[in-house]
Amino acid sequence: MSGPAAAGAPGNGAPAAPRPLIKHYFWKFRGRLAAGILLLVATNALALLIPRLLKQAIDVMQGGAAPRSVALLAGAVAGVALVQAVVRVYSRLAILGMSRLVVYDLRNRLFAHLQRLPLSFFMRRTTGDVVSRAINDVILIRSFYGPGIMNFVNTVLVYTGSIAFMAAMSPRLTLIALAPYPFFALAVNRLSRRVYSRSVAVQEGLGALTNKAQENISGITLIKTYVRERAEAAEFAALGQDYLVRTLDLAWARGLMMPLMGAMSHTGTVVVIFLGGGMIVRNELTLGDFVAFNAYLAYLLWPTFAFGWILNTFQRGMTAFERICEILAEPAEEREVAAGEADPAAPLEGRIEIRDLSFTHAGAPEGVRHLRNLSASIRAGEVIGILGTVGAGKSTLATLLTRIHMPPPETIFIGGEDVTAIPLARLRRHVSMVPQEPFLFSRSVRENVAYAPRGFDEEAILSAVEAARLSLDVPVFPKGLETVVGERGFTLSGGQRQRATMARALITEPSILVLDDPLSSVDASVEEEMLERLRVRAKGRTVILISNRVAALAWADRILVMDKGRIVEQGTHLELTGSGGLYASIARQQSLRSSLSRI
């Protein structure tokens, strides 16, 4: 891609720059745009011809022409109007159709870019804000390229054509009729600045409102559990009130334009009637000229009224472009395979080495480190358990191993390769992760299990379902594996969701399997079965099992104990329980709680 397209390319980390992207779409759909403008020229040329025909008809009637001549002119007016109507339809289809194509392309581009953004972006941005930009701002861009461009071109053509015809009939009367317009232009310029700033405020308010609605719908169970309906409704009403004030401020600024433009336009009409009548009496202007002149002046009314709307549409469109370009300018994860590099399916050894790893999440308070000088070596095929206190950095380490968060260069090596240099397509093919909070799409159980784009056969799906012990529940699902689980898998229990996500990871047969507390919602009896099957399934694979349960880690080859971002102990289950350290303390506490629960 070159020229304007390249300038608007996403993911370069540059500041939001909407103009290159605007030019890109003008260039990409230049054919439709040119056709639409040519049709608009034809439409307005035909419209401007009608007052000339009216002038001729009136003049010939005053001269005592035969009725047949008048009838021919009347027929010409009707014919021109009919042709104009047809051409207008096609001009609108061309311009408005182009705006739909722009939106289709931009929405796909934005969504594809969102898929490639790192997790840190979504930690900084609220869901409602991103959704607002992807939906509401894209609609404003559609108005920018559609009605905005169409009305702008119409306004230029109507003004140019009408003033030219008016000047040909009476330059002096034209000059006087249009004298108020420079004052109008100055007033509109000042108002447009207000409209722009208030448009930004309105779009930001809408983003906050959208985020609140999305957050409440997602967390409706929690809201009902804590009887927070009234409080949440009050907070939403407060945001709605703020949005209302911003919207009314914008409406006030926009509303000033209409009376102002109306006053200017009607002032010109009054001047024409007053001066034009005298010119007819003095034979300086024919009655046909006077009628045609007023017709052309009337043509200026709608473009004059629309001028403020056009300015507002362009201002809001520019604001929308800036907000979308802020997202497109965010650096994307590099997942492509470089030229000459091995295929993503090329084997990746399960050996892991961590060297002096320190890491802090973006936006964390100054001085906070989630991982501190972490070092460890994991052999290929080794089962490693990780246990630690709350906030010790266990989940952070898991996300760095899978490059969900980008680790510092030369701190994590997989198969001897720096994880930051391994193309994501290859890394994610050989490293699977079961997250702490299971997520399922509103699809069938089968589609959720076979989510990775590999074309798994029935045997592989059933094997993964059995290994995760989800097979225990499939018979009670209404449609078995074809049962749709609902949004976020809400129709399943917590344990069923965890087993489904476990099956989703196991089916890929990864070299490295990272399990971030995947059994927290599973019954003890099912947990034992899952761990037993995991031992069989994990043979030859590197497994990193994070858990807060000592019993779940007992089978691991080696256990790493973390506290405050550091590895403070490591060894086998027997070695650590006899050492009297943090692991042994946690093991005693859990054993005591287990004993008390059986009393």
Residues of the chain above pLDDT 90, percent: 13
Please check whether residues 364 and 257 belong to one and the same domain.
no
Last residue in a domain, options 328, 361, 377: 328
Ranges 7-21, 169-183, 368-382, 389-403: which has the least confidence: 7-21
Please check whether residues 359 and 319 belong to one and the same domain.
no
Please check whether residues 451 and 583 belong to one and the same domain.
yes
Count of alpha carbons within 13 Å of 415, Cβ hemisphere only?
17
For the segment 373-397, the average pLDDT, to the nearest whole number, is 88
Instruction: Tell me the one-letter amino acid at 328.
Output: L
Name beta bridge partners: 291: none
pLDDT at 169 over 70: yes
Return the closest-CA partner of residue 557 out of 543, 577, 536.
543
Write out pLDDT tens, residues 6-34.
Answer: 334 444 444 456 788 888 898 999 999 99
Ranges 214-223, 439-448, 542-551: which has the least confidence: 214-223
Last residue in a domain, options 295, 328, 361: 328
Distance separating alpha carbons of residues 75 and 418, to the nearest angstrom: 81
Extended strands (E) in 479-596 = 512-516, 542-546, 558-563, 566-571
Q: 522: which 2 tokens?
A: 């599973």
pTM of the model: 0.69
Count of alpha carbons within 13 Å of 183, Cβ hemisphere only?
10
Residue predicted with more confidence, 161 or 176? 161
Please check whether residues 502 and 430 belong to one and the same domain.
yes
**C-alpha triplet 171, 177, 179: angle, nearest 5°:** 95
Looking up tokens 């784009």 gives 453
Exposed, middle or buried, 12 (CB in 10 Å: 0-12/13-18/19+)? middle
**Ramachandran region of residue 223, left (φ > 0), alpha (ψ -120 to 50) or beta?**
alpha
Please check whether residues 316 and 449 belong to one and the same domain.
no
Write out pLDDT tens, residues 243-298.
Answer: 888 888 888 877 776 676 666 666 767 777 778 777 877 777 888 888 888 888 87
Residue 413 confidence (pLDDT):
93
Q: How confident is the model at residue 100 (pLDDT cuts 50, 70, 90)?
A: very high
Q: What is the mean pLDDT of the chain?
A: 81
- Counted residue by residue, the chain has a size of 599
Asked whether the beta carbons of 401 and 374 are under 8 A apart, the reply is no
Residue 255 confidence (pLDDT):
73
Please check whether residues 309 and 384 belong to one and the same domain.
no
Q: Count of domains in the chain?
A: 2
Distance separating alpha carbons of residues 198 and 367, to the nearest angstrom: 38
Please check whether residues 280 and 364 belong to one and the same domain.
no
For the segment 62-91, the average pLDDT, to the nearest whole number, is 83
Distance separating alpha carbons of residues 296 and 166, to the nearest angstrom: 7
Q: What are phi and psi of 354, to 5 degrees?
A: -110, 125
Distance separating alpha carbons of residues 36 and 433, to the nearest angstrom: 52
Most confident of 12-21, 191-200, 491-500, 555-564: 555-564
Residue 338 confidence (pLDDT):
45
Residue predicted with more confidence, 210 or 408? 408
Asked whether the beta carbons of 533 and 503 are under 8 A apart, the reply is no
Residue 516 falls inside a structural domain: yes
Exposed, middle or buried, 517 (CB in 10 Å: 0-12/13-18/19+)? buried
Distance separating alpha carbons of residues 195 and 288, to the nearest angstrom: 42
Please check whether residues 524 and 579 belong to one and the same domain.
yes
Residue 3 falls inside a structural domain: no
Q: What are phi and psi of 451, to 5 degrees?
A: -70, -35
Query: Which residues, 6+ apart, have CB-to-CB distance to 214 below 8 Å?
Result: 127, 128, 131
Residue 129 falls inside a structural domain: yes
Residue 369 falls inside a structural domain: yes
Residue 364 confidence (pLDDT):
67
Distance separating alpha carbons of residues 553 and 559, to the nearest angstrom: 7
Helix (H) or strand (E) holding 353: strand 352-359
Please check whether residues 559 and 476 belong to one and the same domain.
yes
Residue 315 falls inside a structural domain: yes
Distance separating alpha carbons of residues 323 and 133, to the nearest angstrom: 7
List alpha helices for 133-286, DSSP H: 138-143, 149-169, 171-177, 181-218, 220-225, 229-281
- Written in H, E and C, the secondary structure of 530-545 is HHHHHHHHCCCCEEEE
Q: How confident is the model at residue 86 (pLDDT cuts 50, 70, 90)?
A: very high
For the segment 60-80, the average pLDDT, to the nearest whole number, is 78
Residue 178 falls inside a structural domain: yes
Q: How confident is the model at residue 55 (pLDDT cuts 50, 70, 90)?
A: confident
Last residue in a domain, options 289, 313, 328: 328
The range of the structural domain enclosing residue 463 comes to: 352-597
Residue 118 falls inside a structural domain: yes
Write out pLDDT tens, residues 207-231.
Answer: 788 778 877 877 777 787 777 788 8
Please check whether residues 273 and 150 belong to one and the same domain.
yes
Distance separating alpha carbons of residues 507 and 467, to the nearest angstrom: 9
* CATH code of the domain in which 556 resides: 3.40.50.300
Please check whether residues 441 and 318 belong to one and the same domain.
no
Name beta bridge partners: 543: 383, 513
Please check whether residues 298 and 390 belong to one and the same domain.
no
* CATH code of the domain in which 266 resides: 1.20.1560.10
Distance separating alpha carbons of residues 505 and 450, to the nearest angstrom: 9
Residue 276 falls inside a structural domain: yes
Residue 261 confidence (pLDDT):
64
- What does the CA dihedral 176, 180, 186, 187 come to, rounded to 10 degrees? -170
